[in-house]
Structure 1
């Protein structure tokens, strides 16, 4: 018996092409969700932004909700990874907070997906969000030992971030970070 050969199209395997199209759809959705909100964005609009037809949307996602969850999960992963990479060992909590707010300011579309446009009542969203919050709390509030205090700190940090985003980043990152730091310090 011979082994089956993988057929290439334009130098790519079928799996690579599917993954590439999925990524294009996620990038397009993140951009549009950040600009227009989640309710005002159709599958047709996402496909147009990605330069793909609806056939390819349904190849990767069963619904707009499934796509939103995938985008939210990816945004969370990147946010945690980028905050982790920016931590300065000399001042871990301070550098984590500064990185968190700086990333939100640098990527306003993704910030809206992360904090404003997602449905935090959907069970799947809640699961992804809770996991991300626990990881962010370990970075932002590493010295806060009581679980309820950590939840309170993260609630304060996220509410500050959401208000800041909705006010079009009215205050500089340093001021917002310093304010959030006060909540972390109070919870220790």
Structure 2
């Protein structure tokens, strides 16, 4: 392999190791030594790939967000052209994709918060990206709320809390229950204004 290929291979092995270790035992409990042992590379090689554990977490989080956005965008584009159709398709796609691998869900919704200030910018950017997607998906339809962007941010936050509940509670709600609850919140928040009476 060329030097570039070796670097890319090491970087990918570290991403794979972090995907499991940052999910459990978690970011705070995972040392660079443990990451290197899992990835079968030297500590020196680690610093050729990443500036530190935080940079690795950011790269991993951003990959998870990009993959999730792509899945949701595709689902919304293929959904029936109604507010409810788009909301149901987007939410189901997001929840099913995120929960299909508990490590992805944990990194995106638990470890990103537990990392303190490390991922503040990355997390905020992800929330803005998902809120923008909600705004675009609902923009063809009238709504009662006065500020579509703030409503989009609110419903994205609600969806995150539902997934944290799924991850951390002993009595884990069923995926369909999460989807139905999230759809209800989104439709009530984004729904068309009541013109009756």
Q: What's 2:106 paired with?
A: 112
1:101 positional shift = 1.0
Partner of 2:79: 89
How many residues end up aligned between the 2 structures?
176
TM-fit CA distance, 1:168: 5.9
CA drift at 1:22? 0.6
Within 5 Å, which residues of 2 pair with 1:15-94? Answer: 15-87=4-76, 88-90=78-80, 91-94=85-88
Q: What CA deviation, in whole Å up to 9, does each residue of 1:106-137 have, x standing for no partner?
A: 11011111110124752x62322222223323
Task: Identify the residue that residue 160 of structure 1 maps to in structure 2.
Answer: 162
Question: 1:61, 1:67 within 8 Å by CA — same for their partners in 2?
Answer: yes
When normalised by structure 1's length, the TM-score is 0.84
Query: Residue 183 of structure 2 corresponds to which residue in structure 1?
Result: 181
Relative distance call for 1:169 and 1:176 in structure 2 (3 A) is: farther
1:65, distance to aligned residue in structure 2 (A): 1.3
RMSD: 2.0
1:78-120 residue CA offsets vs partner (Å, 9 max, x unmatched): 1112222334321222111011111122110111111101247
Matched residue, 1:5: none
TM-score (norm 2): 0.81
Q: Unaligned 5+ residue runs, structure 1? A: 1-11
Partner of 1:6 in structure 2?
A: none
The alignment status of 1:127 with 2:121, answered yes or no, reads yes
- CA spacing shift, 1:75–1:169, aligned 2, 3 Å: farther
